[in-house]
Structure 1
């Protein structure tokens, strides 16, 4: 948003500032690096990054909210100064400032961050090429039908999208540009922005609490680790993924906020359990809302569901209204239980809250039959007599009638 000009000052994107916590009585130690945690002794060793002095402190209870670190891809020449990561606020600021002196920019990564970076650079007047190793964009979030529409949306806005393209090397050119080598071709750009993956930053507790193979700290539903005096929240931990009833690493800001709140509530008394997650997420891309919740069709099949899907496209409200726009919905469900497993949305109409609605449907193990006839408001200003969520579920029911040969 900063690169595209929607947010002028990066400082405005923070949801809290240290001074607010100080007013509430919190003792803040900013610009301190925690070097060691001794869980048995309940001690912390930290270093003041300004004075380089060491600080020893003790705790009764500890909340581990160290977040995630960048997973840097293994590509020859990635240390080139023209190749920049974009995860932290400082990195985003550096990227934005550097881009002002460059025109042709390559973006590596076709997830949310990479796609949003491409949009931002287009809006700031740059020529953009987007590289995605996998065959489709947003492949962890949406199936091929929506992904193809996202790709077309980017291309319609002058982004050169290269899916199924593996970058193998970065190297300088004689005229001070940077060459990107792939398995089949070469591309010359002015700079490269990498939207990296992330890994849980849990090293301080390694060997002291139970940690998953991916490095995420394992907690119970109260955000408590295997050490009863240590809690964990946010990108450093896993969360129960309700569609598959398994623990999964899903680093989303919405999870961090909820888990942090729960850890604080449960610190001295078990008050509230985590409800788990459907990994509901979304973005606004060139005026189109893209949102999703739960499993994609491919992910549902990998989870051994007898999964099927329907695709629904229609105007969101009656044709007699003065303006209208199409809504695209993909609904994923299990044929045996008829449970709703996931949904994906794309429209210039605001459909993010529809993803939230389906998230609740999945949370409560509702079926396509429930969604087809659940009570929803009707006004021609907002929808048809049957809301589009009702209609996509009714389409799934009709498909199952055809499948089973039922009357």
Structure 2
């Protein structure tokens, strides 16, 4: 019976103990959040801010120590790792405004809690800055001692007590005692091997899980970056297509206007010649100014011919005021207006308007743009209704 009791005690002692996880002592610890340049605008350089972590049991609270902003939050420490998902914002009265999101993934290595952090725009996956966190902490010494016990394994209630002085006369023979000691040592050795294997396997599983989490995190970052780049690329492509479409429409409109003007000039060639239009002006291309930018309008003979064929215009005549060649246009029910041009070789630039005996030079971008719109309207009766 004593032999069975001894074997039960040895088997109980050989059972593997549970793993002892690293633990940070309760308290407040100071560290740094160091961030690189703005991802979308590298001219906005990186910076370093102090942070404070407050540990209470497994709870870890985060606070960015900067009077200009607020960024706080908490998370749970598990297997020496903690992941923060923080919301931040500028405090009222600051020149900067807005909110952001900060994700930090920290791991306890020795006496340092460190890892990567990424700052995003609030409410989106737009990455603003890539960062790193370093916080020196104090860790509790791991111990396998069960609560309320000593470093030595507690004796089983059923273990056979050591022989005292009163039992010495009835003690087992020396050979039997030596065999028992050898058995106990062998079982202790096996127990320690199993315990070491168990802890090593648990550590390996924990490291593999952390690596998998890091891989998932990096994969998510890559997916977000790719989605953001794809969105930017699509916006640029849409803008380029819109610009190309608008350019094609302008080219088609200009080609149509040129064809109409050429046909009208052919039909009205005799009338234009009879008008006595200035030789310089009749061979010139007219230019108008839209909000400060000079743009080719059409040949002078095309413009005159299109107005001659517009039934809403009563008459078109050649004019010359203060040495500037021009064209007088009379619309029904409206006083006549004379358009005066400044010529340079084969180019004629709209310069002034004359009406009721008064000539006024065009000076402001608004003046030029208004006259340019009027000149275009006179060539199309639809625009005059």
Regarding TM over 0.5, the answer is no
- Per the normalisation by structure 1, the TM-score is 0.17
- Looking at secondary structure, tell me which structure has more helix per residue: 2
- Greater RCO between the two (CA within 8 Å, min separation 6)? 1
- Looking at secondary structure, tell me which structure has more strand per residue: 2
